[in-house]
Structure 1
Amino acid sequence: MKSMMPTEVEQKLNANEEIHIIDVREAEEVQGGKVPGAVNIPLGLLEFRKQELDKSKEYIVVCASGGRSTMGTQYLEGQGFNVTNMSGGMMNWQGKTE
């Protein structure tokens, strides 16, 4: 499983790289702030909403601390998606939020 640190994700955002972020936290958690541009798909709904994702794109999966994003990354990887886990989650995110 691929992973990257929150600072690496922030650098990609600051460099205006085209990145696709999936936040697998619950909707109530996301209301407190998320990585700019992230799409909220709670972990429990990932199986049912995976058809919304494009297998030709690379995704970064985010949660609060890294546990749920690890599970989400492993699940999507098993479904043939190109995914990377953001280690440490939003607890270690120092960048802007929306």
Structure 2
Amino acid sequence: MNGNWWAILAILVVLIAYTIFRTIRQSRYLKVLDEEEFRKGYRKAQLIDVREPQEFKNGHILGARNIPATQLKQRLVEIRPDKPVYLYCQGGTRSAKAADLLHKKGYKHIYQLKGGFKKWTGKVK
């Protein structure tokens, strides 16, 4: 193996280690729920769709509020820290990033829909 291969291998190892570390850390404050579990709790919580407005307009879970991940930091005052927060996006990436921000801001009860809106089979608007 020449030096380039070792560099690529080292980068891959670092990326894999970072991903594992982030997943473990995030699992301490973010509960990922399947659709059935998500359905049981979201009506008593703050249901936030973190997709962009056009995605929300094209269909969303009934009762959800649209606070795009790109605007979340500026709109935190709209989310109560004393109530559970149920998040979803299209596939899970943006809602995980939104959960990171909420956690850093002191929110305690954060839940995410496993697989995101694309896996949702319940009622939509």
> What is the TM-score with the length of structure 1 in the denominator?
0.88
2:114 is the counterpart of 1:87: yes
Mapped partners of 1:10, 1:54: distance in 2: 20
SS at match of 2:58: coil
Question: % of aligned pairs identical?
Answer: 31
Q: Is the 8 A contact 1:66 1:89 kept in 2?
A: yes
Partner of 1:8: 37
User: Which position in structure 2 is the counterpart of 1:25?
Assistant: 51
| Matched position secondary structure for 1:36 | coil
Q: Which has the larger radius of gyration?
A: 2
The alignment yields a C-alpha RMSD, in angstroms, of: 1.3
Per-residue deviation at 1:6?
A: 2.1
The structure where helix makes up a greater share of residues is 2
Identify which of structures 1 and 2 has the higher relative contact order when contacts are C-alpha pairs closer than 8 Å and 6+ apart: 1
Which of 39, 43, 64 matches 2:90? 64
Moved over 4 A (4+): none
1:43 partnered with 2:64: no
Distance 2:104 2:40 in 1: 27
5+ long unaligned stretches in structure 2: 1-29
- In the aligned structure 2, how far is the partner of 1:10 from the partner of 1:56? 20
Aligned residues: 95
Q: Answer whether contact 2:46 2:79 (CA < 8 A) is retained.
A: no
Unaligned runs of 5+ in 1: none
